[in-house]
């Protein structure tokens, strides 16, 4: 019920004495509160309609009327309903001016209408609204429960709740980060995430996670006639369960995934047959296309890791997630909504670019064979260390190719190539091997390399000259750079 509904009730014959806007007349009404004192605020709650016939308000001073209305505005009274005929034949002009100035709707109750009739009307309407809202809330909860039971992902359930509230919905974590939203294309600003203070019905509903995590369901611009907190409270429990599933059920094959990731870089020690056996032990399907992902995670971007999981589960039926050494690895199979794996992967990457533009994330796939999966894992894990945004890995990665095809003879050659540099580092306080890696990682660009190492370009030039003498090759040539790159990659320790 809103203030405008009172004016529309013909039986009450109320008259508006202030030029109140449509927005102001749209404030909710929570109750009626009769009060005749000069300061009734200790007995008022937000969005009540104050009923008074001014028995204790024999005021002549304009400033007193202003102070009276100011006190009511501070406690966010929805409107004043002033009864004429008992103590005042007309609504006091000073009260009209003060209410107009402070934008507080002032309604006149004519002498022919008893206060009890107004109070009873508001009570009856609110009771009907609450009863209807409770029924609708349980209908929504039943709908969400049926969706969850049928295997629907979080986005579908959130869409159903948003449709019922007739507004935009967002799930926000304790840091104020939106991790899921409906519609999925909606844009949320920091102002949107602040609860509107003028409403008694809160637009922020806590999700009962039961795990120490703090999440809120935020509603923006609801058009539903039902109180939002009443409407969404039962459904919030189901949304919380689905969120728990999306965030915390990484996989029941955690140990197997850990072994699989250990085996990826061990090209010499783990044959393809052994890698296949471990892959099958994770529950993944060897005959399905697999999308592989690597993303950095940690305290600063924990919310991003959650959102990545949710976005994956919105597009793939089978998702495995494993976090190790600050990197989130994910495997996704079984695209949803009737699209193929390529379309689902592209849609996922587009959402990541839009929603997580600064998240280091590398996607590879869909991979059609187990060889591709192994190469993709190595490539994504290597690239994510230098990535700054969500990106797709190229079809062929030179570092991964070198590491995967190196023979025992190549490893011996690589050790001999770099041995003079390693020996020099052991006896001097200079990390020449680290300088070489940085030089190649920054595409042999001296300016970028020096900046990354926090050294002067002249110092870098001296180090590069020393490296050339120790390696007996030129770092200015493509062949010399490629040779060093291969040596470093062949001897890179398993991550």
Assess whether 419 and 460 both reside in one domain.
yes
What pLDDT does residue 449 have? 94
Q: Is residue 118 part of a domain?
A: no
Q: Does position 203 have pLDDT exceeding 70, yes or no?
A: yes
Residue-by-residue DSSP string for 415-484: HHHHHHHHHHHHHSS--HHHHHHHHHHTTT-HHHHHHHHT--HHHHHHHHHHHHHHHTS-TTSHHHHHHH
Assess whether 384 and 417 both reside in one domain.
no
How far is Cα of residue 319 from the mean position of the Cα atoms in its chain? 19
What pLDDT does residue 419 have? 93
What pLDDT does residue 477 have? 92
What pLDDT does residue 197 have? 41
Closest CA to 311 of 223, 390, 394: 390
Assess whether 383 and 310 both reside in one domain.
yes
Q: Is residue 301 part of a domain?
A: yes
> Of the candidates 248, 268, 302, which is a domain's last residue?
248
Q: Is residue 495 part of a domain?
A: no
What pLDDT does residue 338 have? 86
Q: pLDDT band for position 198 (50/70/90)?
A: very low
Q: Is residue 65 part of a domain?
A: yes
Stretch 468-492: mean pLDDT: 88
Q: Does position 436 have pLDDT exceeding 60, yes or no?
A: yes
Question: What domain range is 107 assigned to?
Answer: 3-113
> Of the candidates 82, 113, 144, which is a domain's last residue?
113
What pLDDT does residue 200 have? 42
Q: pLDDT band for position 303 (50/70/90)?
A: low
Assess whether 285 and 392 both reside in one domain.
yes
What pLDDT does residue 61 have? 87
Stretch 117-129: mean pLDDT: 90
Domain count, the chain: 4
Stretch 479-493: mean pLDDT: 83
> Of the candidates 248, 282, 310, which is a domain's last residue?
248
Q: Is residue 384 part of a domain?
A: yes
What DSSP state is assigned to residue 2? B
CATH number for the domain spanning 8: value is 3.40.1390.20
Assess whether 55 and 7 both reside in one domain.
yes
Q: Is residue 170 part of a domain?
A: yes
Assess whether 16 and 43 both reside in one domain.
yes
Q: Is residue 126 part of a domain?
A: no
What pLDDT does residue 196 have? 46
Assess whether 266 and 340 both reside in one domain.
yes
pTM: 0.51
Q: Is residue 122 part of a domain?
A: no
What pLDDT does residue 308 have? 86
Assess whether 305 and 383 both reside in one domain.
yes
Assess whether 282 and 388 both reside in one domain.
yes
Q: pLDDT band for position 405 (50/70/90)?
A: low
Range in 228-242, 288-302, 364-378, 437-451 the model is least confident about: 288-302
Q: Measure Cα distances from 237 to 162, 211, 242 in Å.
A: 15, 13, 9
Closest CA to 358 of 310, 324, 315, 307: 307
pLDDT in tens, 36-82: 889 999 988 889 999 998 888 888 888 999 999 999 999 999 999 99
């Amino acid at each position: 019920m809103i203030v405008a509904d009172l004016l529309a009730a013909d039986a009450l014959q109320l008259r508006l004495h202030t030029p109140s806007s449509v927005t102001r007349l749209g404030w909710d009404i929570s109750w009626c509160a009769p009060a005749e004192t000069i300061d009734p605020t200790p007995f008022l709650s937000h969005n009540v309609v104050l009923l008074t016939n001014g028995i204790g308000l024999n005021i002549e001073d304009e400033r007193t009327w202003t102070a009276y209305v100011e006190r009511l505005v501070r406690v966010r009274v929805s409107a004043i309903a002033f009864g004429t005929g008992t103590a005042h034949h007309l609504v006091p002009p000073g009260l009209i001016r003060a209410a107009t100035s402070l934008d507080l709707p002032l309604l006149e109750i004519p002498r022919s209408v008893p206060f009890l009739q107004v109070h009873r009307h508001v009570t009856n309407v609110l009771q009907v609204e609450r009863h209807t809202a409770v029924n609708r809330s349980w209908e929504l909860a039943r709908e969400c429960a049926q969706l969850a039971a049928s295997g629907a992902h979080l986005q579908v359930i959130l869409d159903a709740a948003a449709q019922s509230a007739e507004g935009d919905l967002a799930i926000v974590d304790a840091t104020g980060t939106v991790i899921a939203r409906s519609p999925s294309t909606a844009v949320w600003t920091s102002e949107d995430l602040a609860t509107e203070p003028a409403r008694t019905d809160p637009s922020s509903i806590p999700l009962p996670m039961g795990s120490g995590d703090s999440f809120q369901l935020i509603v923006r611009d609801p058009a539903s006639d039902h109180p939002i907190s009443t409407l969404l409270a039962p459904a919030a429990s189901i949304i919380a369960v689905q969120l728990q599933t999306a965030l915390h059920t990484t996989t029941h094959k955690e140990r197997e995934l850990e072994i699989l990731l250990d085996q990826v870089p061990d090209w010499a020690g783990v044959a393809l047959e052994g890698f296949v056996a471990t892959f099958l032990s994770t529950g993944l399907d060897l005959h399905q296309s697999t999308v592989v992902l690597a993303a950095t995670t940690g305290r600063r971007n924990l919310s991003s890791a959650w959102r990545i999981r949710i976005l994956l589960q919105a597009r793939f039926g089978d998702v495995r997630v494993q976090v190790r050494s600050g990197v989130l690895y994910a495997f996704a199979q079984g695209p949803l909504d009737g699209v193929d794996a390529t379309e689902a992967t592209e849609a996922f990457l587009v959402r990541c670019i839009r929603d997580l533009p600064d998240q280091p994330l590398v996607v590879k796939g869909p991979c059609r064979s187990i060889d591709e999966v192994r190469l993709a894992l190595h490539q994504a894990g290597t690239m994510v260390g230098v990535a700054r945004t969500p990106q797709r890995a190229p079809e062929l990665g030179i570092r991964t190719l070198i590491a995967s095809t190196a023979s025992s003879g190549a490893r011996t050659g690589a050790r001999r190539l770099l041995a003079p540099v390693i020996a020099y580092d052991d006896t001097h306080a200079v990390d020449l091997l680290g300088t070489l890696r940085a030089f190649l990682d920054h595409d042999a660009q001296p300016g970028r390399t020096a900046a990354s190492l926090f050294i002067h370009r002249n110092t870098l030039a001296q180090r590069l000259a020393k490296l050339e003498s120790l390696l007996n090759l030129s770092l200015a040539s493509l062949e010399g750079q490629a040779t060093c790159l291969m040596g470093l990659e062949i001897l890179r320790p398993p991550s």
